[in-house]
Structure 1
């Protein structure tokens, strides 16, 4: 059997052996082997730590027909292959004499022995491999925002925030600062390097930023981050949600994603000190590729009906397909960089409900397509686009993102590049799931409609 965890002599790799040693050293008694379905929901199979060596050697089998977007009942046997580099002890499961840990896994199709085409982690690996073939390493850093809500007496989530904080506020207005502290401690125990945390603009809204890393590690970190935030919030009797717009008429939660390409010799391919914006031609073509494919990308980076309640003018969420080096009303921003290595672009439209593997794969592939096509980058828009009327937007050639999930899925179905990034299996299953979600949504009658029309007509 061919397996990256096995050494050439048939024994376990040094990294797998290190994990076995750490399991014994830290008294780990259970392992959670985690992966995600196409919607980004983390799934796991729990095994006794005594089975870790078998997991590395043979993998762990599971029924793929029970997972969203995986396989049909007649082809259901799948295998999890643990990635030893992702081993981490779960800080909220530590006890005096034992602990639990997790490893992220790749999904293997048992009928072929090859990576499963429907595994989102594999989809991202394919996009990264494409970048590698072009001579680039992909780095990314997201800024996932989330809300902390109180629970009711039955332990169910409410939309009561329990604080009156605003952007960068301190206690006593920011009553959740202690929760953020515990989340940060938990993340650091799991190997995260946290750069900053703060209260966001809306009441009950928070942001924790972690360091730039390669795109696969970063996507793994996003999946882990969401699990850590939810688990530690629950210890404080709070509910953490990454729903993009849980409360009407206030700012929603985004996941601004910073990206750059580095060459094989470690140079930032996005930096050009002679350019007005310190951006190389490669960076501008990459940026142009994202703008070109933005409508289709939104189906993946903003994948819920609720995502489009955030993507409306007036709430600091970008809806206009343009870029800027100054203001945040554009879809893509060029952040200021103190050193050449920090030159990057910031895609401001993704939200934290997305599957990070698929969202990063779509962004990367769009950018690489821009490089391969040699797309011309439009001029930056330095004015506040929110203040433009339709005539002025047309004058500047600024398009608008899809206004709902149905439009976004339509754009995805028409975009061969982004569908190609996802692969035939994932794009088919994703479109099927999202069309069903939107169809279900449009036949519902909301409380707003009842309040507005029931007694009027």
Structure 2
């Protein structure tokens, strides 16, 4: 759906909207927000809503006392779990400086710039996602435990699969918010689930991933559970992946995603810190089905990239990222590395060719990023320091 500012204002007036959440994100893609009353929304559209950001990751060294949130009307969504009387509406915002310029360290702006760079070169990228998460019980005081909600396995059904009703409510809720879930099922781990999305334009896909994580956590809490997207919640059990499906065509409709895949492989070690930003990320890589090498195949396994062609359309599935990553930042880097592969017509190495290993620690990944001219060319210094210092 797409909306104009006037349509949003009319909706707020006619649909008894009393609170408007203006959402943005920190350097790691964690959603933040302020709430405003209906009378403040027009001002937010025109001038932005002021916020103090120096206590937010990636904004600590902001040179401005205040930044300003300007809502994107196309992202308007009602929060379905809130009361119908006095409804709550949410919009994603871009972050602006006091002089009206986009703030360069806002990762949503970074993604928009990447999409524009691709469009200027006649390339259209689309992304879809396959995201895994665990559901754990809470104790009598409402605190999270490490006790899985069930002991079911891969694609099991009820009664073994106790998560079925939770997944269904998540899927129906995100559908009401304008997202398009494709499929859901129980994963290999106890209490582990996967919900997949159809592909869409990169900005919408990143917005949807952010919405999805919020909805999963909210619905889990309503069931007395806690959702866990972390890379390896239970030692010795399957980790949580965040697989990204990539499509790319040129202005004539020609499939160019194989060139893009070669470009991504060429830069993936330098980008790993952004796709796997925590120490726990590196306990997942190389375990079970998670990749640990810069390789690919068309048969499926534990490779970094899985290429699938169906009805003359090729999809590239990138399998190393986890959901601790910032989708706006990751998608931007995938676009830029993919563009490099397309422009240079880079070829994929032969299947089974000896491959480099992905970084095995956060420190190694950080060092590769700090030394990368590619990364430094697209990632603002403030964000790069956030990921690589310490």
Given the two structures, how large is their TM-score scaled by the length of structure 2?
0.96
Counterpart residue number, 2:355: 398
Q: What SS does the aligned partner of 1:209 have?
A: strand
Cα distance in 2 between the residues matched to 1:127 and 1:303: 21
Q: How does 1:364-403 map to 2 (within 5 A)?
A: 364-381=335-352, 396-403=353-360
* CA deviation after TM superposition for structure 1 residue 40, in Å: 1.4
Counterpart residue number, 1:358: 329
Counterpart residue number, 1:161: 148
Deviations 1:232-257 (A, max 9, x none): 11000000111110100111000110
Matched, 1:109 2:83: no
Counterpart residue number, 1:30: 19
Counterpart residue number, 1:68: 57
Q: 1:366–1:418: 8 Å Cα contact kept in structure 2? A: no
Q: How does 1:396-435 map to 2 (within 5 A)?
A: 396-432=353-389
Cα distance in 2 between the residues matched to 1:307 and 1:374: 32
Cα distance in 2 between the residues matched to 1:211 and 1:50: 36
Cα distance in 1 between the residues matched to 2:9 and 2:193: 36
Equivalent of 1:260 in 234, 240, 247: 247
Q: 1:117–1:425: 8 Å Cα contact kept in structure 2? A: no
Cα distance in 2 between the residues matched to 1:237 and 1:113: 44
Cα distance in 2 between the residues matched to 1:96 and 1:373: 54
* CA deviation after TM superposition for structure 1 residue 14, in Å: 6.8
Cα distance in 2 between the residues matched to 1:428 and 1:129: 25
Deviations 1:62-113 (A, max 9, x none): 11212211143752210001000000000111x1422111000000011x32
Deviations 1:26-64 (A, max 9, x none): 211101100101011111011112322221122101112
Q: 2:249–2:257: 8 Å Cα contact kept in structure 1? A: no
* CA deviation after TM superposition for structure 1 residue 418, in Å: 2.4
Cα distance in 1 between the residues matched to 2:145 and 2:306: 34
Mark the CA change 1:177 to 1:121 in structure 2 (over 3 Å): closer, same or farther. same
Q: 2:96–2:103: 8 Å Cα contact kept in structure 1? A: yes
Counterpart residue number, 1:145: 132
Q: Which moved more, 1:150-159 or 1:368-377?
A: 368-377
Q: What SS does the aligned partner of 1:327 have?
A: coil
* CA deviation after TM superposition for structure 1 residue 25, in Å: 2.7
Cα distance in 1 between the residues matched to 2:179 and 2:130: 14
Counterpart residue number, 1:283: 257
Q: What SS does the aligned partner of 2:385 have?
A: helix
Mark the CA change 1:96 to 1:346 in structure 2 (over 3 Å): closer, same or farther. closer
Matched, 1:77 2:59: no
Cα distance in 1 between the residues matched to 2:161 and 2:7: 41
* CA deviation after TM superposition for structure 1 residue 303, in Å: 0.7
Equivalent of 1:295 in 253, 260, 269: 269
Counterpart residue number, 1:16: 5
Q: How many residues align?
A: 389
Mark the CA change 1:372 to 1:21 in structure 2 (over 3 Å): closer, same or farther. same
Cα distance in 2 between the residues matched to 1:73 and 1:135: 34
Deviations 1:118-138 (A, max 9, x none): 101011112111111110121
Mark the CA change 1:397 to 1:189 in structure 2 (over 3 Å): closer, same or farther. same
Cα distance in 1 between the residues matched to 2:378 and 2:187: 33
Structure number with higher helix proportion: 1
Cα distance in 1 between the residues matched to 2:347 and 2:199: 27
Mark the CA change 1:147 to 1:328 in structure 2 (over 3 Å): closer, same or farther. same
Cα distance in 2 between the residues matched to 1:257 and 1:179: 23
Q: 2:263–2:342: 8 Å Cα contact kept in structure 1? A: yes
Which consecutive residues of structure 1, in runs of 5 or more, have no partner in the other structure? Answer: 1-12, 271-281, 382-395, 437-457
Counterpart residue number, 2:107: 120
Q: What SS does the aligned partner of 2:234 have?
A: coil
